[in-house]
Amino acid sequence: MLELSGLTKTYGGRAVLSNLSHRFAPGRFVAIMGESGVGKSTLLNLIAGLDAPDSGEVIVDGRPMSALDDDAATGLRRTRMGFIFQAFHVLPHLTLHQNVALPLLLNRSGTERAEAMLAAVGLGGRGADFPRQLSGGELQRVAIARALVHQPALLLADEPTGNLDPETAGGILRLLRAEIRATGAGAIMVTHSHAAADMADEILLLTRDGLQQA
């Protein structure tokens, strides 16, 4: 459902991504690794629509994102994608249930699945709690529940376990993989961690020459 065609992104005259093309098979869990500064987060931001390429296309469900107006592009992202970005924190003034229900509300869907997703990530019955009452690992589980509650076709994750200890990280990644499988979503996860990447179906390496099988 996702294809990148000739993506180029330049910052201050320096090409970070240069004519990058790749087709992601639906339903696969793909890890992207690569040296610091090579452009992994930039690539994820372009796929997520948080940033626009200088040239080239992000093609979702056969439709080039640049051909859609803002509302249509936002709608496509809201319904077809889920996000676990470190910058997208769980919202502190909403309960856990309200946090997880947010994508459903934005999609004007019923919020029944929110409680089931909280239970699926081991936080059943804690929907009325607030984020401040949770540990870092628990917060990341809320982020996973929120990212998958609307059954997106594609999950985008940027270092989803970056600030967790190895044991907690392992648990979160096993949960992430199980929930991806359960919802049938594909996933693209950027990570520096070999242990995290080993959880994926496939590992790609981003270099100046593009994306290659690791």
Cβ distance to ligand ATP smaller for residue 37 or 92: 37
d(CA 9, CA 45): 11
Q: How far is the CB of 27 from ligand ATP (least distance, A)?
A: 25
Cβ distance to ligand ATP smaller for residue 40 or 97: 40
Q: How far is the CB of 204 from ligand ATP (least distance, A)?
A: 13
Q: How far is the CB of 9 from ligand ATP (least distance, A)?
A: 8
Q: How far is the CB of 173 from ligand ATP (least distance, A)?
A: 18
d(CA 88, CA 160): 11
Q: How many CB atoms lie within 10 A of CB 198?
A: 10
Which residues, in sequence order, are CB contacts of 76 under 8 Å at separation 6+? 60, 61, 63, 65, 68
Q: How far is the CB of 51 from ligand ATP (least distance, A)?
A: 7
Residue pair 99/90 in contact (Cβ under 8 Å)? The answer is yes
Cβ distance to ligand ATP smaller for residue 149 or 189: 189
Cβ distance to ligand ATP smaller for residue 52 or 178: 52
Burial of 162 by CB count in 10 Å (0-12 exposed, 13-18 middle, 19+ buried)? middle
User: Which amino acid is residue 107, in one-letter code?
Assistant: N
Binding site for ligand ATP (CB under 6 A): 11, 16, 34, 36-42
Cβ distance to ligand ATP smaller for residue 51 or 165: 51
Tell me the C-alpha to C-alpha distance, in Å, between residue 115 and each of 76, 88, 122, 139, 146: 24, 21, 11, 15, 11
